[in-house]
């Protein structure tokens, strides 16, 4: 992970501040506020700011004016109820802002979550650093046969070495050409005799997708949990999951009661269709039922059996 001199100075300055406030704060999140948590080989995640905590969710749900004499257990019960019954709007009352450094190809996957405010580093205005993501050998895998958007077996030995060399050489070559286009003096005007390099907004298109970019990403708690439910899942791409796991820790520090409910009902729980519910009821009653009788597709049937760990029924 590489931070610029300016970023290090900014972090140190922000961490040294003493700002008294009447707003609610999250003590555990305050401990890592502004710190850059490493991700992948050159990336990081930083919490820049946040608003609200668990009590803010409860306050919104009750439309009250303060904590009053309620017990923490009461807040926990209400938050679990909200999570269990998909009452989502109280969770929208809390917000958080991250500073993230990530490879461009992960940023393009990440931006599919269109429920945040995003401001990305401008390669039209500034020059991107010469930093590229190169996977660790254990994360270098061939295309999955069963999953069109997933990985299969790990590539080993000389094959892995060849792939890594290709990725590294391509990234370095295109960046060298990027620098050449920026620095090469072209005759852009017959009036002005001063020659200039190619416009940054054009030169950048030559860069590989493993080049690192940065952005500020601000979202509310509800949409953060929707993001984490998908991207911290074991089915998600490894690289984006690294970032999601770091953010999952910030969620725990920020709103611990909500985090517990989220892990219980969203991450650890499962959804069952009407047909699936009938099948589970039959199995609990000791009735015999199979895929052909279920009315489910093979994929639906296996997903249901895997969710309830009924391994002898998987086909």
Active-site residue set? 231
Torsion region of 120: left, alpha or beta (phi above 0 gives left; psi -120 to 50 gives alpha): beta
Taking residue 288's Cβ as centre, other Cβ atoms within 10 Å add up to: 7
Report d(CA 95, CA 92) in Å as an integer: 7
Report d(CA 101, CA 96) in Å as an integer: 16
Are the C-beta atoms of residues 138 and 154 closer than 8 Å to each other?
A: yes
Distances (CA, A) of 213 to 77, 100, 219, 296, 310: 41, 8, 19, 44, 44
Report d(CA 315, CA 313) in Å as an integer: 6
Q: What are φ and ψ of residue 146, in 5° steps?
A: -90, -25
Among residues 115, 176, 133, which one has the least CA distance to residue 40? 133
| Structure tokens, 122 | 């401008």
| Number of helices and strands in the chain (H, E) | 13, 7
Burial of 167 (0-12, 13-18, 19+ CB in 10 A): middle
- Look up residue 145 and give its DSSP letter: S
DSSP H or E segment with residue 49: strand 43-51
Taking residue 42's Cβ as centre, other Cβ atoms within 10 Å add up to: 17
Torsion region of 186: left, alpha or beta (phi above 0 gives left; psi -120 to 50 gives alpha): beta
């Amino acid at each position: 992970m590489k931070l610029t001199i300016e970023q290090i100075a900014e972090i140190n300055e922000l961490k040294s501040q003493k700002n008294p406030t009447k707003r609610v704060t999250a003590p555990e999140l305050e401990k890592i506020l502004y710190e850059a948590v490493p991700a992948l080989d050159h990336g990081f995640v930083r919490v820049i700011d946040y608003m609200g905590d668990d009590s803010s969710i409860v306050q919104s749900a009750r439309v009250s004016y303060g904590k009053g004499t309620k017990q923490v257990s009461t807040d926990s019960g209400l938050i679990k109820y909200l999570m269990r019954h998909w009452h989502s709007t109280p969770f929208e009352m809390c917000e958080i802002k991250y500073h993230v450094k990530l490879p461009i190809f992960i940023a393009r996957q990440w931006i599919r979550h269109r429920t945040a405010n995003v401001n990305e580093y401008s390669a039209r205005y500034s020059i991107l650093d010469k930093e590229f993501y190169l996977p660790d050998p254990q994360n270098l895998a061939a295309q999955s046969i069963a999953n069109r958007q997933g990985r299969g077996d790990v590539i080993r030995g000389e094959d892995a070495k060849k792939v890594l060399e290709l990725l590294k050489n391509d990234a370095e070559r295109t960046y060298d050409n990027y620098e050449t286009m920026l620095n090469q003096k072209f005759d852009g005007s017959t009036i002005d005799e001063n020659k200039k390099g190619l416009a940054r907004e054009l030169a950048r298109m030559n860069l590989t997708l493993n080049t690192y970019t940065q952005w500020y990403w601000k979202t509310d708690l509800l949409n953060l949990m929707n993001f984490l439910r998908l991207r911290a899942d074991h089915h998600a791409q490894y690289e984006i999951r690294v970032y999601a796991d770091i953010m999952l820790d910030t969620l725990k520090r920020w709103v611990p009661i909500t985090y517990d409910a989220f892990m219980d009902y969203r991450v650890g729980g499962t959804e069952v269709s009407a047909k699936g519910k009938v099948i589970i009821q039959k199995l609990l009653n000791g009735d015999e039922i199979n895929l052909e009788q279920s009315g489910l597709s093979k994929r639906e049937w296996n997903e249901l059996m895997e969710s309830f760990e009924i391994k002898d029924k998987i086909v």
